[in-house]
Amino acid sequence: MIDLRHIEPHGESGLPPSFLPLARTVRRLREQVEAATGAQLTFRSPGPPALWSATGQTDGKAILRVAPGPLLSPYDSPETGLSSLRLRYGGLPVGGEPPSPDLGDLLRARGLAGSNRFARPLQQAVSGAFAGKAPPALALIDPDTAASRSSSHAFLTRLLAENPGTRFVAAGSEGCPTDATPIDPRLTVIAGPADPWSLFPLAACIHVARWDAACEAVLAGFETFCPDPAAGPRPADEAAFLVLRYGAGVHGFDPWTRRPIPLADAAERVAWLRDRFLGNDRRVVLVGVSGWKRAALDVFATGPAGAPLHTMTAEEAVRLARSHDGRVQAWATRCPEPLPRLCAEAGIPFARVEDGFLRSVGLGASLQPGASIVVDDLGIYYDPRVESRLARTLREAEFPAWLTARAAALRESIVARRLSKYNVGLEAVGEDWPTDRRVVLVPGQVEDDASVLTGSPQVRGNLALLRAARARNPDAFLLYKPHPDVEAGFRPGAIPEEEVRRLADRVVGGLSIVDLLDRCHHVETMTSLAGFEALIRGLTVAVHGRPFYAGWGLTEDLAPGAGRGRMLTLDELVAGALILYPLYLDPVAMKPCTPEQLLDRLSEARAAAPPSRLALGAARHATMRLRYALINPILRRLRARRGVRSESGR
């Protein structure tokens, strides 16, 4: 750590005990800055100011300057947290350690640079800028230079003046500001982010505005030049370049939790997020996504071509996809009927989107955003009439030992943490269920739900399910659990009270599905996800429909045509359904994450929420009932005019 005691004789670090966070950006990064400095950012006690310095500027003033670090994920922002920060006080670096020997190898192997928002491979226009018998030189615009128009202009002007016979291409990981570049026929400017690792082999030579910006080029094995004498002598070797760029003053953080971690660990996590970002290699047009879902869906769909575009109509979706060379993804139950055909005719990739199987603390019907989705380019998991991507994966995929071991650990963690899809309901405390009878749980469903209408051909309603369950289990202690959306009064599926009392021994509305599964022996369902949640807890399950988890030899299949032609182990099913098929979002950091990371967030959110039947307050409940009674019918009529024939009443 840089010794600052000659500047401010306060404590072992040499820093004052507190700073005044005068910039909003600094306040958003308070947790990270405080963790890195050990000082408080507060207005309650006097201290030097803490300011945001996007260009990494320095001076000798008693100011804590907070700047973005050299290693960022494509999803980083002050609001969501930065994977690295560069800190200076009084013009000197605060903290930081010499980078570990493996950091250079990792950066080289993963091709990381800046905020990693560039596409791979290079676009034709970018690579074309380097065409010709004599390749041009690369004026590498590093992030700090790109953030300062005056710096960009001065750097490029100097290069052109000192190299009168040379052609240049100005480009960098954050792009190049075209309004700040000198006008010269020898200069080609690439305005958008470009992968510097792909540019290096195309250039005759590489010029940088200062030596730390040459780090990636040196790691790639290319000679670099710096025209500014004020930049000082050239670093001696690769290790010296790494220290200059990633050493003193640079702090690494976990991109999701914002906790300090070694830079090499941060680089691994940034690489994971970068790869997820690159998965959206074409602009995404989202169709039928309600406003309250868009913040999460935008994170899932953002890529190098930009954030997704939204529309509600098939014709507009095809027009946008054509003009942006994009792909179309439609919310499965809001998909205009002609959209798949129009996309196929236009040669536009099309997929359906729906919630995943680990979703939230709270109901989707109460407008609680989901933290997992599935993107299915074949069908959709709840509709067995057309093979979904999940069904094909389960039917064809190889499941190596490492994957099933991960699935087993994930399954065990879900059970141990007592998590489910929605994580609502009260504990089943004090219930006096018999111990000498088989306890059978019958989970009700929303009767106009698409999974029931398309996937349960013979038993299509809650009353029919309850009758079938009683007929099959005449001596069992039968528990009937209304679906939370039905219980809340949002969706259809209620059974007359006298019918329920005649068939079920107990109605267990409002109780947690996890508590119920802990205390029963068997589940009878149409297509409910409760059947899958019962399987991972070791219960027997009979299905009257054809949900995604039926037909693999793990359930008692009562619907015709349920067989899949392959037997799976439980952990192979879990691997396909919870690891390979869905995408996950950290709902706090608003960045893509793994299912294991989402379990942490769901556990935290459930622990922070008071016990509740529906994770929904009385006022919110009343408002949502009004919405479903008055507003949703109007919305359904409007959707019908756009060609949306929903197989769900949502």
The structural domains of the chain, with segments of one domain joined by +, span 115-246, 425-587
Q: How far apart are CA 312 and CA 98, in angstroms?
A: 52
- Looking at residue 9, what is its pLDDT? 38
Taking a C-beta distance cutoff of 8 angstroms, is the pair 357, 582 a contact? yes
Token pair belonging to 375: 């993107």
- Residue 633: its pLDDT value, please? 58
- Which pLDDT belongs to residue 59? 75
Residues 6+ apart with CB under 8 A from 284: 301, 302, 303, 308, 309, 326, 327, 328, 329
Instruction: Tell me the torsion sign for CA atoms 14, 17, 19, 20.
Output: negative
- Note the pLDDT of residue 58: 72
Torsions phi, psi for 449 (to 5 deg): -70, 145
Q: What's the rounded Cα separation, in Å, for the pair 190 and 175?
A: 7
The top-level CATH class assigned to 425-587 is alpha beta
In this structure, the strands spanning 250-252 and 84-89 are antiparallel
Please state, in angstroms and rounded to a whole number, the distance separating the CA atoms of residues 567 and 552. Answer: 5
Write down the pLDDT at residue 197: 96
Please name the helix (run of DSSP H) or strand (run of DSSP E) that holds residue 562, with its range, or none.
Answer: none
Mention every residue, 6+ apart, whose C-beta is less than 8 A from residue 107.
113, 216, 219, 267
Residue pair 228/207 in contact by the 8 Å Cβ criterion? no
Do 425-587 and 115-246 have the same topology in CATH? yes
Query: What is the CATH number that goes with domain 115-246?
Result: 3.40.50
| DSSP structure class, residue 578 | I
- CB contact set of 380 (below 8 Å; sequence gap of 6+): 332, 352, 354, 374, 386, 388
For residue 640, what pLDDT is reported?
61
Residue 155, CA distances (Å) to 24, 78, 138, 140, 179 in order: 30, 28, 12, 10, 14
Give me the pLDDT at residue 509, please: 87
Rounded distance between C-alpha atoms, residue 605 and residue 592, angstroms: 17
| Series of mean pLDDT values for 10-residue runs along the chain (650 residues) | 37 79 96 96 92 79 94 97 96 91 94 93 84 91 91 94 94 89 92 94 95 96 93 93 95 97 97 97 96 94 96 97 97 95 98 94 69 97 96 97 98 95 77 90 91 90 95 97 80 86 92 92 96 98 97 96 94 98 97 97 87 56 55 59 56
Q: pTM of the entire structure?
A: 0.89
Q: How does 51-73 read in b/e, with b if 16+ C-beta sit within 10 Å?
A: bbbebbebeeeebbbbbbbbbbb
Q: For position 632, what pLDDT does the model report?
A: 57
Looking at residue 609, its pLDDT comes to 77
